[in-house]
Amino acid sequence: MKLIYPAIFYEGEGGYAVEVPDLPGCTSGGASLAEAIIMGTDAASGWVLTELEDGKPIPKASAVTDIHPDEDDGFISMLVLDMDTYAEKYGNKAVRKNLTIPAWLNTFAESKHVNFSQILQESLME
């Protein structure tokens, strides 16, 4: 799913600040305009993913003509969110993985009621 949201950019000392008005509290920034766009896109994607994972509806994007910067030096640009790619990389959705272990180890682990998924997750997180 691809989403587009208007964002307000403000240039200041040390870079750019980014605000996505349709996503309450969603702000970011970067040292350059390119970095601010990347960081704004990441922040907005994270905001939307959290809503989706919580089962909440995501806000409809405002028309770019309805968004106005609070300061005279602010400008509007669109952020494109690729939610499928973002969710695959950062989401809490479980991904199935196949693995191979020796038969004797499988027999031993099953006799001890080992949860293979839990052990693998804990090991990888360490």
Measure the CA–CA gap between 86 and 110, rounded to whole angstroms: 36
What's the angle, vertex CA 35, arms to CA 61 and CA 57, rounded to 5?
25
Consecutive H or E run containing 110: helix 103-111
pLDDT tens figures, 23-72: 999 999 999 999 999 999 999 999 999 998 888 999 999 999 999 999 88
**Are 65 and 6 contacting, i.e. CB atoms less than 8 angstroms apart?**
no
pLDDT tier for residue 90 given thresholds of 50, 70 and 90: confident
Residue 95 has pLDDT above 70, yes or no: no
CA 76 from centroid of its chain's CA atoms: 21
The predicted-structure confidence for 7-24, as pLDDT tens digits, reads as follows 999 999 889 999 999 999
What class does CATH assign to 2-90? Answer: alpha beta
pLDDT of residue 125: 78
Q: What residue segments make up the domains of the chain, in order of their start?
A: 2-90
Regarding pTM above 0.75, the answer is: no
> What would the pLDDT profile of 67-87 be if each residue is shown by its tens digit?
999 988 899 999 999 999 988
